[in-house]
A and B are shown apart, each in its own frame.
Chain A
């Protein structure tokens, strides 16, 4: 493998890891506050459809992004209402959101554009184009560093940089602010937070809302940056891989980044090489596709440190019995 190929694979890794990373951080906020969210997939899908639709109608991708975040926030509100206010089962609510999004997106898109549940093709300003960082051209001729900078660091859509920036931001919010401390506490022991006079319901709603915003960006990235429109079921299970990444990362932001990059890297390798030959053994491409799930099973089995979810996760908070 020559250097340029390696850079291209890493470049592909970044593109594939970005939606995973955004969804993973979204899940991190929600689950750290004690609300399990398996509806990441559905929120991404709804955001993908509405961002593509709004961008197609308005011709402005930023309006599309806002619409995507709005759609995702709406589903988050349903999840919050069901699991926080009405203390319903969080897993069932999440499953319902996935089904709802899968059906509604196609229905609305079909009714709106009559293109068989797709949105029209986005062009020009209705789409996030690659974003060249300064000096990418000029530095391109410098050995090693040049191509790395020009190919790998520069040239992604702005949402990729937002996703990468979200990692230190998440870390800062969770570990260096009062809000973050309370948010983590509400996922471990909501009664203690309540005793201290802080609203458990308010904090959980805030966490679910942040989750919605991040899922919205992830969906918009799929439909308006990577692709030029919405196609039925286009998230293709990425929300679930993000959940796997969240468990693998043990609910921590920096590890989430590395995990998503690892999963993205595995996908990129699988896409680049159909079968990998290691001396006498040939690794089939199916193994690479399955590897994220296998890794999660290994981690859950307790290899390499235990993955302990937030203690109050999945349980609605009841003030008094």
Chain B
């Protein structure tokens, strides 16, 4: 009996030590998939940069279905991972449900929103409407027809938020411009349907659009492809997608998910939690991409105007209305 007790005690302390030793950060990718060339891939880039710089390791999992959310969170929390970083708005509720059971684990959610943030949860949000506003201005300046398009992924407030900022930027440059806005669908498959993205692009081109902005995850691959095939300009999202079709992608609206993930991992288990972090233009959390692939497309005039607008937004001279403010957009009907 005593032997048994000793044995069990040793096993238990071993298990506890194993838990303490494995305080590695964990990253859970949302349904779009780790390599969506966009949102989730940006998160992976940030994690990789952290791993390369510190020589640390991180745990990761790609979700395959909605049902796995809580399960993945509990698995990582129980294995001792800290902090557990999740991408995508849909993780906010599962994180809220799970966080109470693991008070010593820090949870991070990017893009989510909760009415009350538990003490060990940090929510990171981006001012996507500000970045979209800037690329909207560029779209309006690059457009010859005066018609530009917006293609969203799944029809959720976050994506409308992108579209609304974009439309405001377009109207700021050309008040008479037409913005055609379409959503790919209402289910998560809308993030991975490039065929539908292509058809939407063709339909928008038929209506006169000559610059299209895709905020649609993997569906955006089809949008950018069709835009390049049909000889119009496109705008990428989240990651820098300019290289996908060099010389045919006007710019990309950068959402520095990589920075958010990198900072969280760097802070590690000691990170501050219990509130919201908002990353906007001032924090360089959002912006537009300029590199050798789109340099010929962006004129100096375009660049100076957009940079001026950026300063004005940071200083508060230009106010970009958020879709969330009253669940509607002043310049665009969805």
On whether the two chains bind one another, the answer is yes
**CB-based contact A16/B199 at 8 Å:** yes
**CB-based contact A227/B35 at 8 Å:** no
Q: Does A58 contact B (CB under 8 A)?
A: no
- Residue from B41, B186, B222, B229 within 8 A of A286 (CB atoms): B186
**CB-based contact B200/A271 at 8 Å:** yes
Q: Does A89 contact B (CB under 8 A)?
A: no
Residues of B within 8 A of A115 (CB): 35
**CB-based contact B189/A271 at 8 Å:** no
Q: With A231-B218, A285-B183, A286-B186 as known contacts, state yes or no: A271 contacts B193, CB within 8 Å.
A: no
B166-216 interface with A by 8 A CB criterion: 181-183, 185-186, 189, 192-196, 198-200, 202-203, 206
Q: Does A226 contact B (CB under 8 A)?
A: yes
Q: Does A8 contact B (CB under 8 A)?
A: yes
Residues of A within 8 A of B324 (CB): none
**CB-based contact B199/A227 at 8 Å:** no
| Bound form: Cα–Cα A286–B181 in Å | 15
- Residue from B35, B183, B189 within 8 A of A117 (CB atoms): B35
| Bound form: Cα–Cα A226–B193 in Å | 12
**CB-based contact A236/B195 at 8 Å:** yes
Residues of B within 8 A of A246 (CB): none
- Mask for B21-57, Cβ within 8 A of A = 1, else 0? 0000000000001111100010000000000000000
| Bound form: Cα–Cα A104–B86 in Å | 25
**CB-based contact B195/A226 at 8 Å:** yes
- Mask for A111-151, Cβ within 8 A of B = 1, else 0? 00001111001000000000000000000000000000000
- Residue from A19, A227, A237 within 8 A of B194 (CB atoms): A227
Q: Does B7 contact A (CB under 8 A)?
A: no
**CB-based contact A228/B186 at 8 Å:** no
Tally of A-B Cβ pairs under 8 angstroms: 73
Residues of A within 8 A of B199 (CB): 12, 15-16, 267-268, 271
**CB-based contact B194/A231 at 8 Å:** yes
Residues of A within 8 A of B252 (CB): none
Q: With A117-B33, A228-B225, A272-B203 as known contacts, state yes or no: A234 contacts B194, CB within 8 Å.
A: yes
**CB-based contact B181/A274 at 8 Å:** yes
Q: Does B329 contact A (CB under 8 A)?
A: no
**CB-based contact A237/B189 at 8 Å:** yes
| Bound form: Cα–Cα A289–B221 in Å | 22
Residues of B within 8 A of A267 (CB): 196, 199
- Mask for A228-242, Cβ within 8 A of B = 1, else 0? 110111101100000
A219-266 interface with B by 8 A CB criterion: 222, 226-229, 231-234, 236-237
Shortest CB-to-CB span from A52 to chain B, Å, is 12
Q: Does A195 contact B (CB under 8 A)?
A: no
**CB-based contact A274/B35 at 8 Å:** no
| Bound form: Cα–Cα A271–B198 in Å | 10
| Bound form: Cα–Cα A226–B35 in Å | 21
Residues of B within 8 A of A110 (CB): 35
**CB-based contact A289/B185 at 8 Å:** yes
**CB-based contact A222/B195 at 8 Å:** yes
| Bound form: Cα–Cα A156–B199 in Å | 14
Residues of B within 8 A of A229 (CB): 221
Shortest CB-to-CB span from A219 to chain B, Å, is 12
Residues of A within 8 A of B183 (CB): 274, 285
Cβ-closest chain A residue relative to B200? A271
- Chosen A-B contacts, 5 in total, with CB atoms closer than 8 Å, are A8-B206, A16-B199, A110-B35, A117-B33, A232-B192
- Using CB atoms and an 8 Å cutoff, list the residues of chain A in contact with chain B: 5, 8, 12, 15-16, 19, 110, 115-118, 121, 222, 226-229, 231-234, 236-237, 267-268, 271-272, 274, 285-286, 289
| Closest 4 pairs (CB-CB, A-B) | A116-B35, A236-B193, A8-B206, A272-B203
